[in-house]
Amino acid sequence: MTAASASSSPTAAGALSAFLRGVERRALVVAELQTGDGARAEQALVAVMRAFAAVASDLPMAQWPPRFWALLAARQALRDTPTGRWEGPLAHLGNLEPLIRLALLLRIGAGLDEDTAARLLDTDVDGYQEALAAACPRDRQGNPDAQAWRGLAEQVQQQIRELPAQRLKELQQPVVAGRKDDAPKTWRAPAAEQRTPSAPPRRRSSQQRRWRGPVILLGTVLVLLLAGLGWRAWQGRVPDVPAVVPEGAVGEAGPVTVEALEGDAPKVAAAAADPMATEDAAMLADRDFPLLADADLHAWSAAGGPLPVDESQARPTRPEPVAAALETAAADE
């Protein structure tokens, strides 16, 4: 079954707006922790959301998450972070290379699985696992510190949960309108009160509706009347052509002629006076008389002919010939 692409209908626009509202909080934190600069992260995220909104209508909805994160991970602002600053519990991120840091944030911030994250970073699963191992905090002996890993992931999730809603509202960057009727370009669906109500359909005047029905009815009657008159006139002009009568058939539909039969009707003797009645009664009283009706069938079967098909059942079966059974018995002897 092929997945359907999102269309430009209001329902699809609402679905796109809902998807972006659900992912923008997590995406902003990932971009900010990757760049180390809040303003730079907001600019990159706004550009990604506008680019994604332009291509989302050509994609199945199931491909929206990987395509969105692919656009975000491909931004040069996230690959080159010369002015980034990381403080407090997240200072470990500043010690990582940009690609290593991005691999870590796609895992603990975006929540992507290893296969999807590996494709976004243009590597295989083994290479992505090596990047995660390089990003893992180390203890004093240089071994991976699992407790520090969990603490770092918890700090990232806490920052996602506590992100102020005002920062998300500021992400909407409308383009300066040249005219008053220009709508701001944004990836969000317009609110219900902002939508322009459609103009009601114009109704025709009552006078037009009054005479429209009678005119149509009168025109239909005239057309049918003219068609009937024309058909009768055409039938009157067609000459009568004698019908071709086949050989042996009656060609004229004249009156029926009745003729008397020659001679008297044959006389039928009564049943009691019939000399064959006694013999017929004796034959019918014979208990072997039913076998005589099928004498030819019994003679044919005795001569070795195949038995007829049994059609008394729902699915007739064809038995084996009698001769085959006899040959089998002879062979066994």
SS3 82: coil
d(Cα 174, Cα 172) in Å, to the nearest integer? Answer: 6
Query: Using 50, 70 and 90 to split pLDDT, how confident is the model at 124?
Result: very high
Are 72 and 27 spatial neighbours (Cβ–Cβ below 8 Å)?
Answer: yes
Which domains does the chain show, CATH number per domain? 10-175 (1.20.140.160)
pLDDT at residue 330, rounded to an integer: 47
Model confidence over 14-71: pLDDT tens digits? 888 888 888 888 888 888 888 888 888 888 888 898 888 888 888 888 889 889 999 9
pLDDT in tens, 253-289: 667 778 877 777 666 666 556 666 777 777 777 777 7
Cβ pair 99, 23 in contact under 8 A: no
Query: Is the pTM higher than 0.85?
Result: no
Nearest CA to 118 among 173, 192, 194, 66?
Answer: 66
Q: Which residue has the tokens 């037009």?
A: 208
Tokens of 266: 């044959």
pLDDT of amino acid 120 = 87
d(CA 38, CA 31): 8
pLDDT tens for 193-202 read 445 555 655 6
